[in-house]
Structure 1
């Protein structure tokens, strides 16, 4: 169990994992906290929307519908892998579920699957899942034939790993709605055990972050005044040859000119690398 992430930390965790995030206006304060507790949280729950179209699905999950006010989740995962944040706090996504599942997920002590649920919203033994799980709705018809693009599955993996990493959880803290309630079938079209395998593999690596390539470090090389003078002289000779050729004063052998120019440029490049190495060595001191 853990304290829910505030909005800024949730956003940072997702982006650090390489998730493409769109912030729906008002998501940071949009929640159902007045209806019940939010936290401590025990895991992440994956759903399908039974809808098509990104814009309409996002609006539905933000606003809800008659009898079930929004937000209906914390984020909507589109077919292209973009994650639209629509809520921060308690959301109407999990409903009632099996307490045995909650115990197993909290302790992460099950094998391939959590215990088979026998409870649902409104049943006598059900416990509240809206207070205990982050919820992500994935745009899919949920008919078993609507495809799950690779980009969408990758986003599910990254979102789940981001929250697990932020809370110090393992992949067993990620479940599908069908593993929580015996009334539910989502997500339909891929298996949660295989998704947990993907999350587990990702958690074993460092999170994906943009990196700035650094140039290879040259060994410091002493550069004499004569080295610099020779480099300058070679450069001036090359420029003089080019100027003469343009003015028509002389026409050198083309092949010889190309070879000479190439050799000169290589020499200048080598000398410049020495200059850079020397400057780097002086800087490090």
Structure 2
């Protein structure tokens, strides 16, 4: 019996509702854990509530007796712990790493979604789906390759989870397993998600984005000012400014490159760029020692 499900999810920082009796509920014990199977409930979007499918997954659907999953996922991203034991969710199907006994070896998650076009997955729900799945896989020593869509388990008869590309979802889960944001960048993380910066200080993603924007604004302004002041015979050209421009020249940094980086950081607010990718590009162009020297010279220039 998977009696650690609630703790695994809660320790991952997710909101959890423990449905009474879940620790002893099931069609007998699980045979083991070889993966996680994603579903959608197919309940109409017109039905209100965070997880209106709770009663069905507990009691059954008139054809199959409940429990019909181990975990439910509400529209808000809240997890509902349904059954620690075997649940009837997978049905006939197969997977190379699992075999044909999906109910016995796969943790079944029924996410609240109608499974029809015109109903995008709520961002908070999808983020929680990925984070919770990563936490479960980590708890059982499994990799992201063990995330399976029901439509992959039984492609001839299932379409769930509707609208989600499982290859992409496994990439997101893989990145969460490694402790980094999902592919495509910081946009996949909630703005209030804790983020540890280079110096080990914890702040929020939103704060980190704003700080990065301010830093590049300052670099952009300082280099622009230096570029404008670099006129032959200009008496105001200081030794510090000359040194900075020489350092910039050696590092092959151009004003156009700074503008490009500036635009990319602007895109962070719409989720267009991974902060790590921007930082990596800066480091690649400068090298850590030259980057530090440039930063120091810019600080001197701005303080002058």
Give the TM interval when normalised to the shorter protein: 0.5 to 0.7
Q: Equivalent of 2:161, from 183, 187, 205?
A: 187
CA distance in 2, matches of 1:195, 1:18: 20
Deviating beyond 3 angstroms after TM superposition, the runs of 4 or more aligned structure 1 residues are 52-55, 206-211
Separation in 1, partners of 2:134, 2:52? 27
Whole-angstrom distance in 1 between the partners of 2:113 and 2:126 = 12
Structure 2 equivalent of residue 26 of structure 1 = 21
Instruction: Report deviation, 1:195.
Output: 1.0
Q: Aligned equivalents of 2:111 and 2:161: distance in 1?
A: 8
Higher relative contact order (CA 8 A, sep 6+): 1
- Deviation of 1:76 after TM superposition, in Å, equals 1.1
Query: Quick check: 1:146–1:189 contact (8 Å CA) kept in 2?
Result: no
Matching residue of 1:11 = 6
For 1:135 and 1:199, locate their aligned partners in 2 and report how far apart those are by CA, in whole Å: 16
TM-score, normalising length: structure 1 = 0.59
| Distance across 1 between alignment mates of 2:74 and 2:165 | 18
Structure 1 pair 73/95, CA: closer, same or farther in 2 (3 Å)?
A: same
Tell me, yes or no, if the aligned pair for 2:33 and 2:140 is still in contact at 8 Å: no
Matches within 5 A, 1:96-135: 96-98=92-94, 101=95, 103=96, 105=97, 127-135=100-108
Matched, 1:200 2:174: yes
1:210 & 1:87 partners in 2: Cα distance?
Answer: 31
SS in 2 for 1:47: strand
Q: Report the count of equivalent residues.
A: 181
> Take 1:66 and 1:85, find their aligned partners in 2: how far apart are those partners?
21
Tell me what 1:84 maps to.
80
C-alpha distance in 2, partners of 1:199/1:173?
10
Indicate the SS of the match to 2:135: helix
Task: Return 5+ residue gaps in structure 1 as ranges.
Answer: 107-125, 217-285
**Matched residues in 2 for 1:24 and 1:210: separation?**
29
**C-alpha distance in 2, partners of 1:156/1:55?**
14
In the alignment, what sits opposite 2:237?
none
What is the TM-score of this pair, normalised by structure 2?
0.55
What's the CA shift string for 1:142-186, capped at 9, x where partnerless? 113212011111111112111111011110010110000121110
CA deviation string 1:13-45 (max 9, x = no partner): 111112110011111111111xxx621221000
3-state SS of paired residue (2:139): helix
Unmatched tracts of structure 2, length 5 or more: 182-188, 196-200, 202-304
Matched with 2:301 is none
In terms of Rg, which structure is larger?
1
2:51 touches 2:75 (CA, 8 Å); kept in 1? no
Change (3 A) 1:203 1:158: same
> 3-state DSSP class of the match of 1:66?
coil
Q: Judging changes above 3 Å, is the alpha-carbon distance between structure 1 residues 38 and 170 closer, same or farther for their aligned structure 2 residues?
A: same
**Superposed displacement of residue 55, structure 1:** 4.5
